[in-house]
Amino acid sequence: MSRSSMADLERDPRFFLQELDVQSNESVQRALKNVMDKYGRIDVLVNNAGVQCIGPLAEIPLSAVQQTFNTNVYGSLRMVQGVVPHIATRKRGKIVNIGSVSVMAPGPWSGTYTATKAALHALTDTLRLELSHFGIDVVNVVPGAIKSNIGNFAVTSYNRMPEWNLFKPFEEAIRERASLPQRIKTTPTDEFAQKAISVILRKNPPAWFSSGQYSSIMAIMYHMPICVKDFLMSRIMKP
């Protein structure tokens, strides 16, 4: 999201907008320095930067996979490594990583995105243990289907993909998966945000918070036998 698209927030004195590219160490350090210079401290880090990536794992360009990991996983870790030195000295602070319910029941065509979120879930669990010594709370926020622009990006990125070879018969199914976030019923952004904020700002926030459309269904699927999950997911693979 560009800074120009948030002009209304720019005019609001409650916000201090900064351009930030989580794929760039220099951009991360510059943004953090600006925040520290202005406020002198950091209380909460929310790692919400994320991109979608659609395509069969056996054919998707590795460059697209690397780009997705660089944003969703390494970008979050860059932010963590940049922020922790500031909040560890104060013995208080919160780190919030935005995961995904897709990890609960991975399906076809979005394996790259799901893998990045699974990695982020694992990193979050480890960070919670490692940073507890410094009084830092680490929360894994696991949204269901929330209204956002990630679906627009998924369609755009899919259109830049090469022609499929082995998976040519599945092209329509893959394309439908790319546009799925735009077609399904989603939870309004402000509704989800209010619930998440109320949980994150608790004195002792939970390690895991999940909410939003389909979050309960995905949690149930997580506990299903693998053969049942495979059967349900394979139904959307038919060419």
Name 69's Cβ contacts closer than 8 Å, sequence gap at least 6. Answer: 112, 115, 116, 119
**Active-site positions?**
113, 117
Reported residue count of the chain is 239
* Under 8 Å between Cβ of 139 and 95: yes
User: Around Cβ 130, how many Cβ atoms within 10 Å?
Assistant: 12
Strands 44-47 and 93-98, sheet pairing? parallel
Dihedral (C-alpha) 165, 114, 229, 109: value to the nearest 10 degrees? Answer: -20
Rounded to 5 degrees, what angle do the CA atoms 160, 163, 165 make? 145
* Residues paired with residue 92 on neighbouring β-strands, in sequence order: none
3-state secondary structure of 239: coil
